[in-house]
Structure 1
Amino acid sequence: MFTGIIEEVGMIKEVKKGVNSYALNIQGDIIFDNLRVGDSVAVNGVCLTVSNLLPKTFAADIMHETLNRSSLGSLKSGSFVNLERAMSAMGRFGGHMVSGHIDGLGRIISIKRDDNAIWYTIAAEEKILRYIIEKGSIAVDGISLTVATVTSSDFSFSAIPHTVKATILTNKKVGSFVNLENDLVGKYIEKFLGISSADTPSKGITKEFLGKFGY
């Protein structure tokens, strides 16, 4: 489990490509305090397992399924990545509950400055957007962010200068792809209630919809 509070920006030192898999060597600094083989590290929001550990460098394997669902397949030597160790039981919960299991990709379609903040608008598929709510949480490349607006085709958030400078958001451009992980709460509620996408009204939650499911 992660919080979406990025600890540092690391760099890909080497990418070893298999037939349907990758092996990454990632360089960092801060996250190596108490890091051990077998620990989990979120790399651009994707939970990876440390398979080998050297001074200031760790190795991680990426399987076919992960490559299909995330942007990690586009990484190359010299790429910068967001890094976060799994949450410590003694740590502060500064972001929101992030599992490191990516729901899909989004594409940045607009970047606009607003005084000291920067607005990012990200296009995504309906299967992702249906779990996004205004003022709710979402992880973008592993960064815990608050949704400002959401439409039928995209969502937007406003990032403060610290967040931009402390993450790979500073390197993103219009057209860049990002890893998206929806807030866990909505997905679990949907599963427990047995609600499918066909059950969800196109115009949102209605009195009839709530009555159908016992509210």
Structure 2
Amino acid sequence: MALFMDPLDIFLMILGATLLSTAYTVWLTTRPIKEDPPNEQAAIVKREVISEETIECPPTIKALSFYYMGIGVFALTTGVWGLVTWPLPSSYNIVLMDPWPLFGVAALIVGLALYFTGSLMTVSIPLAFLGIIPIVYGIDILKYHLTNEPALAAALYILTGLAPLLSPLVYMTRSRNSSRYMSYLVMAILVIAGLIAYLIGIEATFAHTAGWVKWTPWYG
């Protein structure tokens, strides 16, 4: 049994926690604004009040940003270690370890954007481009039948990439209704991907624990 498999379970559960948290973040940063009143002058005043008071709840957003920055530092650090050491056998280093530091970079981008601007509108474009990468890895997993559950693992990768790929349609769409519906779709994708990550990670935890239960260090 290979030692390389041990950190992957915690990576998956951290990914699951972050995907579910991101669904909440999308909801928090795209909550629908109340309809304007019929009177035109009152509508102008109402829009000004809304723009000042309901821009994504800045104190809550700033507090949430620390979660992403913390996860980003952890994933980036452990991911760089994986890139340098290539601890996994054969192609598993490419599909399992290489995307992890990229996840850390994305988490840091989100955390910093939320802290300094309280919005994901601007960073949704570069995040969309980053979202293409896990989709490619997901297709790669399916093509070469990697991992014990290639279909489930591929679904996780593809959904994880699809959410940021669609994010510009959430934050940069002019129509309120279309933006709201896209946010619901992205939240659903994130929740499904988060649950898949937890499912695979929990299963891996018990498998790894059972495999190492009789292991002892070389010194006794």
Q: TM-score, length-normalised on structure 2? A: 0.28
Relative CO higher for 1 or 2, CA cutoff 8 Å, sep ≥ 6?
A: 2
Which of the pair is proportionally richer in helix? 2
Q: Which has the larger radius of gyration?
A: 2
Which of the pair is proportionally richer in strand? 1
Q: TM-score, length-normalised on structure 1? A: 0.28
